[in-house]
Amino acid sequence: MYEQLKPLLFSIDPEKAHHFSTGALQTALAIPGLSHAIKGHFRTDDARLRRTVFGIDFPNPVGLAAGFDKDGKLYGDMAALGFGFVEIGTVTPRPQKGNNHPRLFRLPDDGAIINRMGFNNAGVWAMVDKLKYRTDQPRIILGGNIGKNKDTFNEDAHKDYLLCFDALHDFVDYFVINVSSPNTPNLRSLQDKEPLAKLLGILQLENQKRAKPKPILLKIAPDLSWSQLDDVLEVAEQTQLAGLVATNTTLDRTLLRTDTNHLVTIGNGGVSGAPLTQR
């Protein structure tokens, strides 16, 4: 079905295509007979696919990464497509519009996308309001991907992450700490050893105060050097993280086949998709 719709979707702006596609899915799932057919076609219950990772029983290992459902509006619809889990966010304490349009670009020759969305989201309290009244059955496993607001100084970043962590703790199954997006100025410097240890230490200290601590994972950039990665791994062990999310988008464009002039026209942004495979 996607191959038939692809020419239509590729004829419109990528961000508009995203909203068109998710809106169409929501409309289809609101029709009882059609909803049943969609769920029956995509959902699979097979013991061979089940995984238990960091104490969570996943029905299958294929999940939806953060960035698609930034505000926690679509996780129930995505569950209907058979995903074993959905990661919502990245969410920040206060709402922010993100970067100016256009901010999402296709690279068909590379099987890739460039984005500079800039953590556009409605804020953590809007997400909490959505999660308070969950109706998805069976309940899909949710990860909460959290970040800081653009205008929060790095020395105060832990306050933003802590606020999001506290707000979402009762509503998600695990957390992902996003310090690796290239589209928030200076965010990636939080991956340096000292600020990273401080941030993760504060979050784990708060986590251990809870009756049921949640797994905390760290989302890292593919552009880290090997020595930087060694530092990240050392901090991950020291702070007893549940795992790493590899990876965020890359700033490296050296292997792209897309015309250089076109890339210059696009401008800044992180690359995702096939070019990340080798790294």
Which pLDDT belongs to residue 3?
85
The catalytic residues are: 181
CA distance 277 to 275: 6
CA distances from 99 to 17, 96, 104, 115, 116 (A): 18, 9, 10, 10, 7
Closest CA relative to residue 263, chosen from 251, 253, 274: 253
Burial pattern 47-65, b for ≥16 Cβ within 10 A else e, equals eeeeeeeeeeebbbeebbe
What average pLDDT values come out for the chain (279 residues) when binned by 10 residues? 86 96 96 96 96 97 97 96 97 98 98 98 98 92 98 98 98 98 97 98 98 98 97 98 97 96 98 95
Which pLDDT belongs to residue 2?
77
Which pLDDT belongs to residue 152?
98
pTM for the whole structure: 0.96
**Cβ(275)–Cβ(222) below 8 Å:** no
